[in-house]
Amino acid sequence: MACTIVNPSGSDVKDKKGETMSGRVIVITSGKGGVGKTTTNANIGTALARAGKKVVMIDTDLGLRNLDLLLGLENRIVYTIVDVVEERCKLKQALVKDKKNPNLCLLAAAQTRDKTAVTEEQLKNICEELKKDFDFILVDCPAGIEQGFQNAVAGASEAIVVTTPEMSAVRDADRIIGLLEAREEIKSYKLLLNRVRPNLIKSNDMMSVDDVVEILSAQLIGIIPEDTGIITSTNKGEPIVNDEKSLAGQAYNNVAKRIMGEDVPFLNLEEDNSVVAKVKRFFSHLIGKEQ
Amino acid sequence: MKDIFTDLYNKVLGFFRQTDKKEDNAKDIACNRLRVVLMQDRTNLTPELMEKMRQELIDLLSKYVEMDKEALELNFEQEGNQMALMLSIPVLRAKDEAEIERELAKEQAEKESREAENSGEKSEESEDAVQDNGVIEIVEETPTGEIVSTEETVTECIEIVEPENEKEKVE
């Protein structure tokens, strides 16, 4: 399945010192909470930065910020997005550089304010400003479909809808997709299926990737397996893409590649390990055709 | 070697299970429930409206057949890419012509008296037209085509496809 996010301004991006850098603003949203928006944001952002892109992540979850924790930057935050819009500091001053990767920045949310502290218009302006200096602006959207969501989506032209193969998450994703389709400025949206558990799918206890894709009739940009490594990586404040052995890390890296326009096949999580399947794979290998 | 046998065993067992009960596993239940729920979410048809639609269908159909009103089922289902409205009507007895005519006449009379109350005069022709359109009128309130019945022996089967959907199929 080929999967690329169309880059409407692709040709405009000029690397370093280029006069007209015009970054892509991608909002990462889900509707339901706890499906892995922030984890996805941290990992895709880190993966893109590792690939040499200039990336800034905006946490728009005012009052419930967490992106700083996942990146291990919680102690470095001086100014937040609210300080920027209330003009207590310049936008550049509020950007927190990542510990490892100088290409990666975070614009943190204020922890002491609520969703009304920033307006759609202000967020749009911030995104426009950041587009000049960065290749990618990833907007971490709060759960829900209220003002916080509307704000986060305001400046974006692309969206990644995160969901898990659970009924409630899929239902909420469907709502979000409906809302995204109604917004003209969102040119494309892609589905990221998180916390996939191949064993449960195999035993027919969980909806498969195909089921979810069919039900939501959306294009897929990534399949992330459930991985206990996510817990440890969150605890350490280090995104799992830094761990090359981790399956979830690889999957997130692949998502980043697809965002950059590469055609990367999806990890085969539902690999059938029966003898028949192994023999079949062996022969299809011989003919040199992918099954 | 042991692998091969357990695999074979599972295959055989799986085959019988599959033919036995196809939609009993958690995954299929989830898929089906989700499809129904999403259809409701997308169409904005509230449970109250569904109930109203059900009631109107009962009123309409009971002119022609005697049925188990409690057991009448009206549900959205998905068949491939097509959204379908499934109507299942357990029929107790089909009414005979005389009964049907009596019902229609009664309704006609009610309508006439109502119209007379409302505006006094109206040509009989237009009233007849309204009457004839009765079936379609109700179906048009539903967002999508097909009304199909699935129950066996004692079930009335009506199939109405909205012109819009037919067009889609042709394309």
Distance from CA of B94 to the nearest CA of A (A): 40
Phi, psi of B67 (to 5 degrees): -140, 170
Confidence bin at B99 (pLDDT 50/70/90): confident
Three-class DSSP category at A274:
coil
How close is the nearest chain B Cα to the Cα of A276, in Å? 9
The per-residue pLDDT for B14 is 64
* CATH entry 1.20.120.160 includes domain A12-287: no
Rg from Cα positions in chain A: 19
Length of chain B: 171
- Cβ-contact B26, A205 below 8 angstroms: yes
Render A100-162 in DSSP notation, one character per residue.
S-TTEEEEPPPSSS-GGGS-HHHHHHHHHHHHTT-SEEEEEPPSSSSHHHHHHHHT-SEEEEE
Residues contacting residue A164 through CB under 8 Å, at least 6 positions apart: A35, A36, A170, A193, A194, A195, A196
Q: How far is B165 from chain A (nearest CA, A)?
A: 19
Asked whether the CA dihedral A286, B1, B6, B9 is positive or negative, the reply is positive
Kindly determine whether residue B27 and residue A215, on different chains, have CB atoms separated by under 8 Å: no
Structure confidence by residue, pLDDT tens digits, B105-161: 888 898 888 888 887 554 544 444 444 433 333 333 334 444 444 433 334 444 444
Take residue A261 and report the two structure tokens written for it.
């326009």
Residues of A in contact with B34 (CB under 8 A): 167, 170-171, 207, 215
* Boundaries of every domain in chain A: 12-287
Per DSSP, A7 falls in state -
Q: Residue A278 has what pLDDT?
A: 67
Whether the CA torsion A273, A274, A275, A276 is positive or negative: it is negative
Angle, CA of B17, B19 and B22, to the nearest 5°: 80
Q: Average model confidence (pLDDT) for chain A? A: 88
- Best residue of A211, A217, A272 to probe chain B, by most B CBs closer than 10 Å: A211
In the structure encoding, which two tokens stand for residue A244, read together?
Answer: 């090359």
Interface test with A, best of B5, B17, B23, B31 (most A CBs within 10 A): B31
pLDDT recorded at residue B146 = 42
CB contact under 8 A, A215 and B33: no
What is the ipTM score, two decimals?
A: 0.74
| Strand-pair partners of A222 | A192
Q: Which residues of A are less than 8 Å from B13 in CB distance? A: none
User: Are A35 and A169 spatial neighbours (Cβ–Cβ below 8 Å)?
Assistant: yes
Whole-number Å distance between alpha carbons of A193 and A169 = 10
State residue B121's pLDDT score: 54
Of residues A286 and A255, the one with the higher pLDDT is A255
Q: Which residues of B touch A206 (CB under 8 A)?
A: 26-27, 30
Q: Give which of A145, A204, A217 to mutate to test B binding, by max B Cβ within 10 Å.
A: A204
User: Considering chain B, what is the average pLDDT of its residues?
Assistant: 68
Compute the radius of gyration of chain B from its Cα atoms: 23
Nearest-CA distance A39 → chain B (Å): 26
Q: Do B37 and A215 touch (CB under 8 A)?
A: no
Residues 18-47 in B contacting A (C-alpha not used; CB under 8 Å): 25-28, 30-31, 33-35, 37-38, 41-42
Phi, psi values for residue B68, rounded to 5°: -85, 95
The minimum CA-CA distance between A234 and chain B, rounded to whole Å, is 30
| Tokens matching residue A5 | 């996010």
Identify the burial level of A81 via C-beta atoms within 10 angstroms of its C-beta, where 0-12 means exposed, 13-18 middle and 19 or more buried. buried
C-alpha to C-alpha distance for B131 and B112, rounded to whole angstroms? 11
What are the residue boundaries of the structural domains of chain B, listed by start? 1-44, 45-96+134-170
**CA A12 to CA A241: how far, in whole Å?**
28
Chain A residue with the nearest C-alpha to that of B33:
A167
Q: At residue B156, what are phi and psi to the nearest 5 degrees?
A: -85, 140
User: Which of A200, A274, A270, A278 lies closest to B5, judged by CA?
Assistant: A274
Task: Give the percent of chain A with pLDDT over 90.
Answer: 78
Lowest mean pLDDT among A155-169, A187-201, B68-82: B68-82
Q: Is B7 on the interface with A (CB under 8 A)?
A: yes
Q: Residue A164: its pLDDT value, please?
A: 96
pLDDT tens for residues A240-268?
999 989 999 999 999 999 999 999 999 87
- What tokens were used for B123? 């040509």
